[in-house]
Structure 1
């Protein structure tokens, strides 16, 4: 099977290895797995067009390579695709990649991709802004911004950058007042963070057992200051966050979040941060995208 691999040329993994060396590594890994590949390194602004062209080649398997933010950016193209698309996760967190069973070295990911099966993925939208896994405000949006800051300051170590970003986020988060609407019900909460996930995450590594469960899960980190945020962070690291008294969770098929301060707040979409004002209406697009996963069809 021949693959056309569209790669975000600005991804950190590509820049560290060098574009030509990275492309050669991809080709060699596909050949080692009994497949062939053509690598197209493109600037982030050209990813949509390059992926669309790859999808038009019906005798090839189109693959997009990049982190969660890269996949987020091409979601409109994935929605229009009439067949499964492969993913090679090249980011730091790779939430979607892990859920698809694509982890480990690049060679392991490519081997898994060559033997993968199509699965369907629910997609979330926020006032027509799409996301595939996570969207949040408060601590979570600050964490995404701090991660970019830490990457620039500590390019030699992703682990150090992550610790610095997490520490700064815990220290600098300020509580927000949010009006949460589910159907006719309304609740007003003061929270350090509100996170909306497409389907339910579990465990210390935040994995989804179902990608097509058809629900949002809303997590509210209660406002309690530095001590509360530290306890919540420890519960996430230990995998006991579901039982944390600092976290309230519920599921819904549609939810509206409105900041009471009426300011344009920072919102994160799969690690990408934007400023948005007014009510944020979260709607689910069930089974909207087909991807290739190294897991069973019944994800």
Structure 2
């Protein structure tokens, strides 16, 4: 006959469980698709299945910063930000001041940072990875004081981000259709930009379809960073010279052959300054979020500025198949 459980022992066991507080963007696509209550229950159940506890707060974007500060101030819990790359970007001013590691739960379409942290697969698998993960230090970028965690771009990339937001509203039933719609319009309507750039002590003037600044080097078909703490920017200048070449370049970015594109020039450095010569103000993306800003854009690196929970080490060896795309 089974011995009745001791309520005190059960309470003691629950108290020893690692406790997380998940602050989620209530407007994130994953939340809206599942429904707020269903999503919260799913998150709580997944943490419990992984041997942890979780408190879930679904808050509108305007209240994210306030609730994050409250969660970070509570030393009894580990804070987790749930949302897409843009939501995580908006939380950086709060997160960068946190002395304890924070978690990221990707809920967006692209989830660049989530993939780099090893958080892939179904939501339950990502949560299990967070519970079993270890803290790593990662670099951040700053543009005239504006923080970003992965990518900042202009030209084609800023147009793509704007078209994607429009497509999401027009085709809410399918992320794939929205992406293809945005990509097609971006390829058709991209205009070249003229910039003056300084990196690693070298000045150059270029006319290009796009300029992309990444925090550390991306590589491979999945645009994965092998290092999160490499201590450098990589600047990609894409000059296709025509619609057909632009289509080929876009295809190479999807298939992983973009490193070998004859239209791409990549440079590295710890500081970058970009001045637009075609207009005083222009659209710039920060992890998928678009803002209209005046140049010059002064990029500065913040080494190891953020401690995050990762399901992978800070440095990973590239897959053998990725050697075909040398840095």
| 1:1-299 matched pairs, under 5 angstroms | 1-298=18-315
Q: Which runs of 4+ in 1 moved over 4 A?
A: none
- RMSD over aligned Cα, in angstroms? 1.0
Distance 1:201 1:298 in 2: 13
Select between 56-65 and 212-221 the one with higher mean Cα deviation: 56-65
What is the Cα deviation at residue 264 of structure 1?
Answer: 1.1
Distance 1:99 1:32 in 2: 24
SS at match of 1:121: strand
TM-score under structure 2 normalisation? Answer: 0.90
What is the Cα deviation at residue 235 of structure 1?
Answer: 1.1
Distance 2:19 2:203 in 1: 52
Q: Is the 8 A contact 2:198 2:274 kept in 1?
A: yes
What is the Cα deviation at residue 60 of structure 1?
Answer: 1.2
What is the Cα deviation at residue 185 of structure 1?
Answer: 2.3
Q: Is the 8 A contact 2:240 2:249 kept in 1?
A: no
Q: Is the 8 A contact 1:63 1:86 kept in 2?
A: yes
Larger Rg: 2
Distance 1:191 1:220 in 2: 7
Aligned residues: 299
SS at match of 1:92: coil
What is the Cα deviation at residue 168 of structure 1?
Answer: 0.6
Question: 1:229-281: CA deviations, max 9, x gaps?
Answer: 11111111221111110111010100111110233110000000000112000
Structure 1 spans left out of the alignment, 5+ residues: none
